[in-house]
Structure 1
Amino acid sequence: MGKFVRANRKKLLGLSQIALSILLLVWLFGHVSLQEVVQTLASIHWGWYALAFLLFQINVVIRAYRWYVLLRALNDEPKFGYLVYLYYIGFFANNFIPSGFGGDLVKVVSLRQSHGRGAEALSSVLMERVTGLVGSSLIALVALLWNLAAHALTLDLPWFLWALIVVTALGIPVAFFIARWSNPIGLINRLYPKATGLPFYAKFENLVNTIHRYPVRALISSLLISLPFTLNLILVQVTIAWALGIHLPFRIFALFVPIIAIINLLPITFNGLGLREGIYTFLFVPVGVPAATAVSMSLAFYFLRFSAGLLGGLMYAFRSILSFARPPEAHEV
């Protein structure tokens, strides 16, 4: 009965995310001409967009390497190529599973099946995400100071935009360092002594203990890897903008890209559709980008993610064919 209820909840959640995406897109295209968006995308410069595609694939490899570093810190030894493969499979899952976490779930399950260590798999995926966000936030902080020095940002901006900027540039790094070097288990036990009787408590405690096993050196390495990852992600957005005829200072992208990445993680729409297009419009229109072009930038980036998912599907199919064609004795070795 419990599994049936959970399955229905997941279906309802997925349907609600799809419905919200549709509502947001309908509202957005009620204010932005769909015809202009189509015309803008049709006039895209394919050379610059091809470069954006290549840069996006490089980022997949960088993210897989960051994951590899964290797993090695737990005395696990997954093959780097296998982690790259799992990342593409994660993108493939994200094309069809609501929210941006479907791919993470696939990666955790696949890694647990191949290595048999659930807590390590979950914590590594979680910490890979978190250290990536912290690294992006640190770059956003530098970009914030850069834009302020260049007088590109003023106090006349809406308060909620400033809130997003401050949370991205300051809040996330501070929250990470507090969470990593605090004792959340002890705090929970003090606030709620009966917590140990909850059904998920043991798994949560195991996860927290596993996270605290990461040496500082591994976390610093992961953060350092996050810097070229974020810079390359910014270049992806810059080349997409160039492909659509938009030329803005690099510092603008350096500030906006981490904000977009964080908002894109919110599991409230289907893979960020509708929400992401709205935030692109919200951020780029005030700096002189036409609304239709801002939406086109968002969709062009989504197509890159979708294409990475298609590559993941092809890899999965090719791997399955090879596994099926392999002689039985090869499976036993």
Structure 2
Amino acid sequence: MDKKKAWNILKPVLKIAFTMLALWLVYTKVDLAAVRRLWKEANGWWLIPALAAFVICQVITSFRLLYFFRNIGLPLSARSNLRLYLLGMFYNLFLPSGLGGDGYKIIVLKQRYPTTHKEVFSAVFFDRLAGLWGLGFLVSCFSLSLPEVRQYSAWILAAFAGGTLVYYFILRRYFNRVSRHFFATHLLGICTQSLQLATVAFILAALGCRASYWPYFAIFLLSSLASLFPFSIGGLGAREVAIVWGAGIFGLDKDLAVSVSLSFYLITMAMALSAIFILFGRERERSPESSATAADPAGEH
């Protein structure tokens, strides 16, 4: 067995182990009885707008990705792209393999279109960066409103502004093709991150939070950074560890903060599970003339 095959086997094992360890660390810091009580007494009606906000967020995120695919000349329809996006979510959450959702998208698009690995990878990568930029924008704004970090807000804003200028220059200078529609894609980055905060707000309302939502928004945004690192299954565990750490810094209710994080993860799972209909409907929907795209379960029909 070569090193690549061994790593492909070891990687999902390490992900599962890290996720379990992170969750164990979290649950040693929270009161499980209190978490269960929060969920038991939750107002489920608030979860309906929470789910709606999250669905809208993911649809807009898929359109942001579509901008980048079209920048490199891929003629995907919005419907085909959304199907591919949902399958990527499914791979990230339920199949902790070495492939991952982004890797799946790259393989499918390379099989279907005359494009290169470098082009598709750059589209997916810069889509992620647009979302990360939107996250950084909101974190910078929140630094102005939180007393615990307000003394550092000038430095945070200066770093974000300077980083944005460097980021824009590099994109336009070296990745001009993929960086078209820069302002549209990055405004969508702010929009999607804001919709995630709307989801969190509805979850907080469902769990009966009577304190200010702003500190919970701040630690959620910071925990989103932790979930970007591919050490756990779909960010589970990594986000919760960051949430507990942030709740300690801001003096927040750790039980409530972890309940919000886990509720958000369950909503994400519900959205990702919709890809099952795509997987099981593939054979029924595929027309005879589309056999050339047999490897693409997200193909247009």
* TM-score normalised according to structure 1 size: 0.77
Which amino acid in the other structure matches residue 269 of structure 1? S
- Alignment partners' CA distance in 2, 1:166 and 1:261: 21
Match for residue 181 of structure 1? Answer: 169
Identity of aligned residues (%): 23
- Alignment partners' CA distance in 1, 2:266 and 2:8: 26
Aligned residues: 291
Contact 1:68 1:80 in 2 (8 A): yes
Distance change (3 Å), C-alpha of 1:279 and 1:329: closer
Match for residue 64 of structure 1? Answer: 62
Match for residue 214 of structure 1? Answer: 178
Q: Aligned runs of 1:61-210 on 2, under 5 Å?
A: 61-98=59-96, 102-117=100-115, 118-147=117-146, 151=147, 153=149, 174-175=162-163, 177-178=165-166, 181-182=169-170
Match for residue 276 of structure 2? Answer: 313
Match for residue 16 of structure 1? Answer: 14
Q: Aligned runs of 1:170-319 on 2, under 5 Å?
A: 174-175=162-163, 177-178=165-166, 181-182=169-170, 211-215=175-179, 217-319=180-282
Contact 2:89 2:101 in 1 (8 A): yes
Match for residue 48 of structure 2? Answer: 50
Match for residue 186 of structure 1? Answer: none
The 3-state SS of whatever aligns with 2:123 is helix
Which amino acid in the other structure matches residue 266 of structure 1? F
- Alignment partners' CA distance in 1, 2:28 and 2:160: 34
Contact 2:15 2:233 in 1 (8 A): yes
Match for residue 296 of structure 2? Answer: none
Query: What is the aligned-residue RMSD (CA, Å)?
Result: 3.0
Which amino acid in the other structure matches residue 177 of structure 2? R
Contact 2:93 2:233 in 1 (8 A): no
State the 1:128 CA deviation: 0.6
Which amino acid in the other structure matches residue 17 of structure 2? A
Distance change (3 Å), C-alpha of 1:232 and 1:247: farther
Distance change (3 Å), C-alpha of 1:249 and 1:116: farther
Deviates more, 1:129-138 or 1:10-19: 10-19
State the 1:120 CA deviation: 2.4
Match for residue 7 of structure 1? Answer: 5
Which amino acid in the other structure matches residue 178 of structure 2? Y
Which amino acid in the other structure matches residue 227 of structure 1? I
- Alignment partners' CA distance in 2, 1:166 and 1:16: 37
Which amino acid in the other structure matches residue 107 of structure 1? K
State the 1:303 CA deviation: 0.5
Deviations 1:50-81 (A, max 9, x none): 21111111011101111112222233321111
Contact 1:136 1:230 in 2 (8 A): yes
Comparing both structures, which one devotes a greater share of its residues to helix?
1
- Alignment partners' CA distance in 1, 2:269 and 2:262: 10
Distance change (3 Å), C-alpha of 1:29 and 1:78: same
* TM-score normalised according to structure 2 size: 0.84
Contact 1:94 1:102 in 2 (8 A): yes
Match for residue 34 of structure 1? Answer: 32
The 3-state SS of whatever aligns with 2:28 is helix
In structure 1, runs of 5+ residues without a counterpart are 156-161, 184-207
Bigger CA radius of gyration: 1
- Alignment partners' CA distance in 2, 1:82 and 1:174: 37
The 3-state SS of whatever aligns with 1:220 is helix
In structure 2, runs of 5+ residues without a counterpart are 293-300
State the 1:152 CA deviation: 5.6
